Amino acid sequence: MSNSFPHPALGIDFGVARIGIAASDPVGIMAHPVETIHLAKQDAFERIATLIAQRGIKTIVVGLPCHLDGREGESAQKVRRFVEQLQTQHPQLPIHLIDEAYTTVTAAAKLHEAGKNAKRQKSFIDQAAAVEILNAWMGH
């Protein structure tokens, strides 16, 4: 495993209602769920800035929803606009986009295997999807 990227990293599963957040450990071996930002209740950019400062984040990884044929749709454009604003606020941090295909499905399946009811665990699914995004980027 090559850990040549800066640590720790923040993983983001962007959604129009909720944003799932995950973080890697300081050496980039494991990703773990952090929280879900509910956009109706708090400002995502303020909260992300706080997390970056608290955790000493060096890299941000954001899931990009692509169609199965690789094309980008409206959801991907929303993610790109979010990333542009995030990059403006944190120009010192590299931000990587990674295809998030199946991350929510994978996260929900893993939660189901662990005995969690996915429908009642939406905010945790967002965090678990962010973990899947970060793990995919770290090569797991």
> pLDDT tens for residues 11-45?
999 998 999 999 998 888 889 999 999 999 999 99
Q: What is the CATH number of the domain that holds 115?
A: 3.30.420.140
Q: Does residue 113 belong to any structural domain of this protein?
A: yes
**First and final C-alpha spacing in the chain:** 9
Q: Does residue 128 belong to any structural domain of this protein?
A: yes
What are 74-120's pLDDT values in tens digits?
A: 889 999 999 999 999 999 999 999 988 655 556 556 656 656 555 55
pLDDT for 102 equals 59
User: Who wins on pLDDT, 17 or 5?
Assistant: 17
Give the model's confidence band at 2: pLDDT under 50 very low, under 70 low, under 90 confident, else very high: very low
Give the model's confidence band at 54: pLDDT under 50 very low, under 70 low, under 90 confident, else very high: very high
Using CA atoms, how far residue 116 sits from 36, 99, 112, 113, 121, in Å, is 17, 26, 5, 7, 7
Q: Does residue 2 belong to any structural domain of this protein?
A: no
Q: Does residue 30 belong to any structural domain of this protein?
A: yes
Q: Does residue 1 belong to any structural domain of this protein?
A: no
By CB atoms closer than 10 A (0-12, 13-18, 19+), residue 100 is: buried
| Structural domains of the chain, count | 1
Mean pLDDT is lowest, of 4-8, 111-115, 122-126, for: 111-115
pLDDT for 99 equals 85
Which structural domain, as residue segments, surrounds residue 51?
9-138
Mean pLDDT is lowest, of 12-16, 23-27, 60-64, 125-129, for: 125-129
pLDDT for 113 equals 64
Q: Does residue 36 belong to any structural domain of this protein?
A: yes
The C-alpha atoms of residue 4 and residue 45 are separated, in whole angstroms, by: 27
Mean pLDDT in residue range 59-78: 85
Q: Does residue 125 belong to any structural domain of this protein?
A: yes
Nearby residues of 63 by Cβ (< 8 Å), 6 or more positions away: 11, 12, 13, 14, 79, 97, 98, 99, 100, 103, 129, 130, 133
The C-alpha atoms of residue 130 and residue 60 are separated, in whole angstroms, by: 11
Q: Does residue 71 belong to any structural domain of this protein?
A: yes
